[in-house]
Amino acid sequence: MVRGMLAAGVLLAACEKEQQLEIAEKTPNEAIELITTPVGEKDTLAMLFATLLNNADFGQAVYRGAAEMLDGDNEFLLAEVATPARSRGESTRAWQQTISSYVRVASDGTRGNGRLPDVVERLLQSDPLTNFLLLAPDGEVLDASDMDRDDLLVVALPANYDDQKDYQLRGYTKQGEMVMLSSRVAPNRPVLVVGRNERVICVPRGTNPGEGYKLYYQGRTNAYYFRNPPRQWHLPEDGDDDGGGYMPPVEPNPQPPKPVAPTPTDRSKLSGKSEYLLKAGFKSQRDLEDVEPWPKGRPEVRCYVAFHDGSKENMFLGDRGWWNGNTKDLNIQFWKWADEAKSGDYYTIKWIEEDGGAAVDLSLSYTYKGITGKVGFKWNDDDDTIGERSVHYTDEALRDGKLYDLGGFRFWIAVK
């Protein structure tokens, strides 16, 4: 433990000096000019955690906290472990207490009642959404044994990290070394990323965040709420008593589908049939990482729909099932196209990967009975556009779905 404390002290002192690093990185397919930034407070925190990970108890506590996936990804907040507090009616978890006690050891050597390091206090004030995200080696499943690996890295994301830019990131090893890596090329080793949570919002404790927000964690000074409930939206179907609304995600049916008769390809012959968002997906992992690079974890995907009569819809489709070029089954009914004269000749779907940030206006154009207008939505200025496409009344109407290709992303619309 003394060895770990001394190493932490040396690393923390070295981090106080800003340094500008060389820009040099090449992928197999292209040369990328990478942005470098001065060493910041998250680097200091990354160095501290890299040193503490030499202790097996600390490493397993980090793994358990990430593996609980309390917000849907393998991550937890700095606030949860800096000053553990009861939340959601539960007692503090053992992993929270373990991480907190070791962080305080690094401060003054007294386990369990030492003060927090200055860098932790500053980050809790300046960026209360500071977060730890644990990533398995590329293509593998996260495992507790990853925490014992000598090549485990703790990577710091710079302040105001923009996932649409390419960065030279600094990673810190258990041995006190610094490794440079690209934000576009995932390392083939386990990584603990010190970044910023995209899935929750932070408000002062006792503040009402607004209607519909579910509590994630309540600390001693701040409360954290889920930004997007993991739910899907559907419109009322025939015979529904609930009038439509939120519903749990539909699990894929493991049984093979029964044979069905082919659907006519002309919507004018399909009176009473509904439009379904049948499935969607990125074509490859690289296409996914173009909108959500590996240091940010799983993508949060939402689509907005603008109809010709000025009505609108949006669906949060969650973060699971998008990895490695997978096509995600959705089968969500969202529109009943009465006829072309009544409903217009097309609607437009815009796909977004959500990253949070300040709310701004988003508009989609529509034309209805010769009148052109726009439908407005609220979204966040850090969100990334995946693409958009119009679905026309004269498009093929297929029960098993018509493909709409956006380049690196595609989706299928079915009529049934």
Q: Which residue has the higher pLDDT, 263 or 400?
A: 400
For residues 258-273, average pLDDT? 68
Report pLDDT for 244: 36
pLDDT surpasses 70 at 4? no
Report pLDDT for 149: 94
pLDDT surpasses 90 at 171? yes
Q: Are residues 185 and 249 in the same domain?
A: no
Report pLDDT for 47: 94
Q: Are 16 and 85 in contact (CB under 8 A)?
A: no
Nearest by Cα to 366 from 309, 404, 304: 309
Q: Are residues 199 and 337 in the same domain?
A: no
Question: Of 209, 226, 243, which residue sits at a domain end?
Answer: 226
Q: Are 186 and 227 in contact (CB under 8 A)?
A: no
Tell me the C-alpha to C-alpha distance, in Å, between residue 346 and each of 235, 266, 306, 340, 349: 19, 14, 9, 8, 10
Report pLDDT for 116: 82
Residue with tokens 């002309």: 266
Q: Are residues 39 and 164 in the same domain?
A: yes
Question: Of 178, 194, 226, which residue sits at a domain end?
Answer: 226
Predicted TM-score (pTM) of this structure: 0.66
Angstrom distance (rounded) from CA 42 to CA 130 = 8
- HSE value, Cβ hemisphere, 13 Å, CA-based, for 94: 6
Full residue range of the structural domain in which residue 74 is found: 2-226
Q: Are residues 221 and 85 in the same domain?
A: yes
Question: Of 175, 199, 226, which residue sits at a domain end?
Answer: 226
What is the domain count for the chain? 2
Positive or negative CA dihedral for 256, 262, 263, 266? positive
Least confident of 87-96, 129-138, 192-201: 87-96
For residues 75-91, average pLDDT? 75
- Residues contacting residue 109 through CB under 8 Å, at least 6 positions apart: 5
pLDDT surpasses 90 at 387? no
Q: Considering the chain, what is the average pLDDT of its residues?
A: 75
Q: Are residues 238 and 291 in the same domain?
A: yes
Angstrom distance (rounded) from CA 218 to CA 223 = 4
pLDDT surpasses 80 at 25? no
Q: Are residues 358 and 406 in the same domain?
A: yes
Report pLDDT for 147: 94
Q: Which residue has the higher pLDDT, 23 or 103?
A: 103
Binned at pLDDT 50, 70 and 90, residue 242 comes out as very low
Q: Are residues 291 and 361 in the same domain?
A: yes
Least confident of 217-231, 260-274, 396-410: 260-274
Q: Are residues 120 and 252 in the same domain?
A: no
Per-position DSSP letters for 359-378, written without gaps between them: EEEEEEEEEETTEEEEEEEE
For residues 10-31, average pLDDT? 37
Model confidence pLDDT, tens digit, residues 110-161: 555 567 888 898 999 999 999 999 998 866 778 999 999 999 999 999 888 8
Q: Are residues 35 and 147 in the same domain?
A: yes
Report pLDDT for 233: 37
Q: Are residues 170 and 297 in the same domain?
A: no
pLDDT surpasses 70 at 316? yes
Q: Are residues 208 and 296 in the same domain?
A: no
Q: Are residues 157 and 281 in the same domain?
A: no
For residues 360-367, average pLDDT? 51
Distance of CA 164 to the CA centre of its chain: 14
